[in-house]
Amino acid sequence: MERFKFLKKEEVSNLPKTSGVYAFKSKREILYIGKAINIKERVKNHFQKSSFRDNLFIDKVENVGFIKTNSEIAALILEANLIKKYQPKYNIMWRDDKNFFYVGITKQNLPRIFITHQIKKEKIKNGKQTVFIGPFVDGTSLKKTLKILRKIFPYYTVKKHSRLPCTWCHLGLCPGPNPDEKKYKKNIKNLISILKGKSAPVLKSLKKEMKKAAKLQEYEKAAGLRDKIQALQRTISHAKIFEEIKAKKDKWEKIEKELKKILKTKKKILRIEAYDVSNIQGQKATGSMVTFIQGNPEKDFYRRFKIKSIDKPNDIAMIEEVLERRFKHLEWKMPDVILIDGGKAQLNIAIKTKNRNRKTKNISVISLAKKQNKLYIENRKDPILLKKLSKEVADLILQIRDEAHRFAITYHRKLRKKELFG
């Protein structure tokens, strides 16, 4: 494990501006360990804008240590390992085992991964052999890190997988109902190594495996390993990955503010669902529902509908059927806004349908007509041209509409192909 490089507290201006881990040390012991995107700025904040907690130890600090990392993810993992090693008094004082975060890995043929606060309870629940990695201080960053790593090394989060592929399978985040046990265990082993800060041996092993596959002319396997290596390298070396997440959040807040103004509402807008129908003369008609949360597509909440009540061209009736069926699913989280592909008539049927249920009455409805991209809005007489809105809002509405159309037509083609070829 890397060691801290220490400076006198009077020399904090010489600290690096990179991501990494820092430590406050008295004459005899390390008092506190933290991670930062910018070590210099974070340490200066401790001294200049001291919190109540800082004031408990800041006057005892004589030296400030630091270890630079290539990324925030590396800093998150290193911080956990160093807290475990040094047990700093003021980290432990504020966080008992119930407040630290741990990654649990069960001991079974197909281990599952989970995050927990309470190791003792999980050992009783999952067996004493369950492995725990931590402690991690920042739960949000840990969850985001696992989400990124799961794309590279898919894993289970449930005790027993269904016999059919789940939503996570379609997203490439789950190994599915019948995985290669040897390959899965290798993925878990690699994931554990990375969470323990040992990414270099993992990359070395993957590169060796890729070369071997290429030599044996197993080109598909070699290509898969190459993609995995590149994804892992990007993850490990991406120093601004969480900054980008924050930038997306800031962008969404700006979009949300404008949407509230357009819709004349004060309620929070997080979830937007969009609907479209696809058919040829009413035949094999399908409806689609796509979901965007804070401006980002969430494909595990997409849904498809095979139109049942009508077999002739009637987009209005089809939209009505799709919405009626969707609103029956109260277990699905309700949207804040519904976007319909169409004009005034489509808007009106959507309003009429959602007003039949008191639990959906408060959902705002908009529709986007393809001609001139006119946006029709509930409780507003005249439509707004999309080009009159800010670029961010206009682009998002177009993106959501186009995604609903793509999703509907893909399913429609699939049904037609099935009918033609059996």
Is 72 part of a structural domain of the chain? yes
Would residue 299 count as lying in a domain?
yes
Do 31 and 158 lie in a common domain?
Answer: no
Q: Among 94, 129, 151, which residue terminates a domain?
A: 94
Domain tally, the chain? 3
Nearest partner of 255 among 401, 393, 397, judged by Cα? 393
Strands of the sheet containing 30-36, edge to edge, are 5-8, 63-68, 20-25, 30-36
User: Rounded to two decimals, what is the model's pTM?
Assistant: 0.52
For residue range 174-209, what is the model confidence (pLDDT) as tens digits? 888 888 888 899 989 999 888 888 888 888 989 998
Nearest by Cα to 274 from 367, 343, 358: 367
The answer as to whether 356 is a domain residue is yes
Q: Does residue 20 lie in a domain region?
A: yes
Pair 254, 232 in one domain: no
Same domain, residue pair 105 and 90: no
In a domain, 47, yes or no: yes
The tokens of 187 are what?
Answer: 């993925």
Q: Is 59 inside any structural domain?
A: yes
The verdict on residue 175 lying in a domain is: yes
Q: 42, 64, 94: which is the final residue of a domain?
A: 94
Q: For residue 54, what are the CA distances in angstroms to 9, 30, 139, 389?
A: 15, 14, 21, 46
Q: How many residues does the chain have?
A: 422
Q: What is the pLDDT of residues 344-390, one digit of tens each?
A: 999 999 999 999 988 899 999 999 998 889 999 998 989 999 999 99
* 320 within some domain: yes
Per-residue CA distances from 231 to 148, 204, 235, 349, 410 (Å): 9, 14, 6, 45, 28
| Structural domain range at position 262 | 250-421
Which residues of the chain are modeled with pLDDT < 50?
239, 282
User: Do residue 193 and residue 255 come from a single domain?
Assistant: no
User: In degrees rounded to 5, what are phi and psi of residue 32?
Assistant: -155, 140
- Alpha carbon 402 to chain centroid distance? 22
